[in-house]
Structure 1
Amino acid sequence: MQLVVARIGRAHGIKGEVTVEVRTDEPELRLGPGAVLLTDPASTGPLTIETGRVHSGRLLLRFEGVKDRTGAEALRNTLLIAEIDPEELPEEEDEYYDHQLVDLDVVLADGTEIGVISEISHLPSQDLFIVERPDGSEVMIPFVSEIVTEIDLENQRAVIVPPPGLIDDRAEIASAREDAAEPEDRA
């Protein structure tokens, strides 16, 4: 299984270093010296990480064979892809890889089906489940413990307790709006 772990940004300095936009929760595992990464586009790789360091809050990498700014600039916008074992699990107990969560059924605590996780969106403040509903619509569910109360990989489901309004059906919302728009009979 392949996992995009970073995107190469601009060159840094004149010795072949590049900035990277990290797309993994485990950069120390995936982006350490000696790691061999596939690339997209494939014509630029594979790349082997020679050195890595943090500078002003950004991760800087240097790859074997890339010794100057010109070589570093040629890698800009390249995606770095790690090969991982599908059975590999994150180190922390309550952490999950995206591939473990995609296609899980999303249900309420009482078993009511909400939909299926089609994608994980990683935002700066929190991660979101993009859930495809049975009617084809999508709903975004914040992946926070107050809402997602259980991830059950064995039974392929995520149990949620959503706050009011998060997953209300459009028909229910439309009906409520119509009711509110109708004038009340006053005696």
Structure 2
Amino acid sequence: MDLPVERGEGSMVLVGRVVKPHGVRGELVVDVRTDEPEDRFAVGRVLRGRMPKAPKGSPDQNYTVTAARQHAGRLLLSLAEVVGREGADAVRGLLLLVDTADLTPSDDPDEFYDHELEGVPVRLVGGDDVGVVTEVLHLPGGDVLSIKTADGRDVLVPFVTEMVPTVSTELIEIDPPDGLLDDA
């Protein structure tokens, strides 16, 4: 699913990050952060771009997809506003975003956008309250729920069925192994 990124009035979701230039014509290697790359990076699609260390309140820039293709297991993307190797180098690290208002709701009741799970209460399968989801992290080893506990601690719970058997936009139930939620 797409990753949430907040700024300003609207809510944005991260769909990709520019890793580096590819070649001399301005193509970009993109680290895809969406389950729907064929839709998010379709020719003609306008994406919002934000540099990761831009000052808060800095305006996002629009980028129009002119080409997208797979190469050696990675997405290569061409954007109308990025010309040549120097232009591609200048946008290294650029976050590619879409507005949550532009997202089509999923037909699958067991599929959620990450931003839909943020703020959802978490409790143990036995009924004890744990806290709320603050973020869904997509790490190389798998997806992880970041949960802010009632006592203010941050805990990470692997987002796997064995530990997170019940997921909805109203409540998430977890069944962590002994010690996972203990004070560090």
Q: TM-score, normalised by structure 1?
A: 0.81
Structure of higher CA gyration radius = 1
* Unaligned residue ranges in structure 1 (runs of 5+): 174-187
Which of 98, 101, 104 is the aligned partner of 1:82? 98
Q: Match for residue 113 of structure 1?
A: 129
Residue 106 of structure 1 aligns to a residue in which SS? strand
TM-superposed deviation, 1:89: 2.5
Q: Which residue of 1 aligns with 2:6?
A: none
Deviations 1:115-138 (A, max 9, x none): 111111111221111111111112
CA contact under 8 A between 1:8 and 1:20: conserved in structure 2?
Answer: yes
Report 1:30-49 matches (<5 A). Answer: 30-41=40-51, 45-49=61-65
User: Alignment partner of 2:87: what SS?
Assistant: helix
2:23 equivalent among 9, 13, 35: 13
**1:19 shift after superposition:** 0.5
- Supply the AA of the counterpart residue of 2:132: V
> Structure 2: which amino acid aligns with 1:143?
F
Q: Describe the shift of the 1:106–1:65 C-alpha distance in structure 2 as closer, same or farther (beyond 3 A).
A: closer
Q: What amino acid is aligned across from residue 159 of structure 1 in structure 2?
A: E
Distance across 1 between alignment mates of 2:134 and 2:98: 21
- Of residues 101-110 and 67-76 in structure 1, the stretch that sits farther from structure 2 once superposed is 67-76
Q: CA deviation at 1:50?
A: 0.5
What TM-score, normalized by structure 2, do the two folds share? 0.82
* Identity %, equivalent residues: 38
Structure 1 residues 27, 143: closer, same or farther in 2, change over 3 A?
same
The alignment's C-alpha RMSD in Å is: 2.1
1:29 to 12, 16, 39: 39
What's the offset of the Cα at 1:96? 1.3
Residues of 1 paired with 2:155 and 2:124: CA distance? Answer: 14
CA distance change for structure 1 residues 63 and 91 in 2, over 3 Å: closer, same or farther?
farther
Residue 140 of structure 1: which of 133, 145, 156 is its match? 156
Gaps of 5+ in 2: 1-10, 52-57
- C-alpha contact 1:44 1:75 (8 A) present in aligned 2: no
Q: Is contact 1:102-1:119 (8 Å) kept?
A: yes
Q: Which residue matches 2:89?
A: 73
Matched, 1:102 2:112: no
**C-alpha spacing 1:43/1:135, structure 2 compared with 1 (3 Å):** closer
Q: Residue in 2 aligned with 1:177?
A: none
Letter in 2 for 1:94: D
Comparing both chains, which one has the higher relative contact order based on Cα–Cα distances under 8 Å and sequence gaps of 6 or more? 2
Helix, strand or coil at the partner of 1:110: coil
1:127 is matched with 143
Shift of 1:44: 7.2
Between Structure 1 and Structure 2, which shows a larger proportion of helix residues?
Answer: 1
Q: Any idea what the Cα deviations from partners look like across 1:81-107, whole Å, max 9, x if unmatched?
A: 111228742354422111111111111
